[in-house]
């Protein structure tokens, strides 16, 4: 029995998230089906990040166990032939039998993209959140600076988050504008449920002038979801990569 590690990219628009559910198609479900068909044995992948419905990824990570004789580096070619076109395995390799994608020291990088112009662009509706109001880039960058570092992000997670410790570290939160697209690029040691979408919503509030950058420390201190900005829709969010610090592997 071997454990194979996959790096997976996908457009999450038409899926009910990563994790298998009863109410619709999921990324995990499609991988399980394709790998079961490929190997001839029932496969259940273990994912590193259980992205929500509508969220995309360029570098999510999953593992599965198999007795198949297919060379590890060839799995991506074989399984991609069986996957729908909006899910692509971009790398495959063998890892230790006890290696688990969620039980490692990692850094994750997400991007949230905002289309900031007068009218929507139908070609960008699946991967950006449309905002017609002018956004002040410098104010958003100033606010982002307050969010970097180790903080209790209880104000910046969904009220249904079930974790005891809501302290996380953001190593870098960049606000980048390229033509009419503003990207919030955030790298941290872990993220709470809806945390990146709430961070983005708060920064948009700052950009619109609804929130002063200097209010951010008080939001953090409040530890109250109502203190922070809105939760923006999922389509602007992409899991860019996962860096595995212990094993030296990068998605």
Cα-flanking dihedrals φ and ψ of residue 213, to 5°? -55, -35
Catalytic residue among 11, 14, 52, 127: 52
Rg (CA), the chain: 19
**Is residue 98 annotated as part of the catalytic site, yes or no?**
no
pTM of the model: 0.94
pLDDT tens for the chain, 251 residues long, are 999 999 999 999 999 999 998 889 999 999 999 999 999 999 999 999 999 999 999 999 999 999 999 999 999 999 999 999 999 999 999 999 999 999 889 999 999 999 999 999 999 999 999 999 999 999 999 999 999 999 999 999 999 888 999 999 999 999 999 999 999 999 999 999 999 999 999 999 999 999 999 999 999 999 999 999 999 999 999 999 999 987 645 54
Query: Rounded distance, CA 100 to CA 39, Å?
Result: 21
């Amino acid at each position: 029995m071997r454990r194979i590690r996959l790096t997976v990219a996908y457009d999450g628009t038409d899926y009910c998230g990563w994790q298998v559910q009863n109410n619709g198609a999921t990324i995990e479900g499609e991988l399980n089906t394709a790998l079961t068909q490929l190997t001839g044995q029932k496969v259940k992948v273990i994912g590193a990040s259980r992205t929500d419905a509508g969220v995309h990824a360029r570098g999510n990570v999953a593992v599965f166990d198999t007795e198949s004789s297919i060379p590890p580096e060839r799995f991506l070619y074989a399984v991609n032939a069986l996957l729908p076109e909006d899910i692509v395995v971009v790398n495959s390799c063998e890892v230790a039998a006890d290696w688990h994608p969620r039980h490692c020291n990692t850094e994750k990088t997400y991007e949230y993209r905002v289309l900031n112009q007068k009218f929507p662009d139908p070609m960008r509706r699946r991967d950006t959140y449309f905002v017609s109001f002018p956004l002040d880039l410098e104010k958003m960058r100033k606010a982002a600076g307050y969010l970097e570092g180790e903080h209790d992000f209880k104000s910046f997670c969904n009220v249904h988050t079930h974790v005891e410790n809501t302290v996380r570290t953001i190593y870098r939160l960049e606000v980048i504008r390229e033509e009419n697209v503003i990207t919030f690029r955030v790298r941290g040691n872990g993220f709470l449920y809806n945390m990146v979408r709430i961070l983005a919503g708060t920064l948009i509030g700052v950009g619109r002038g609804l929130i002063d950058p200097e209010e951010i420390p008080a939001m953090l201190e409040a530890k109250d979801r109502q203190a922070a900005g809105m939760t923006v829709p999922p389509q602007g969010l992409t899991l860019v990569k996962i860096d595995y610090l212990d094993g030296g592997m990068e998605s």
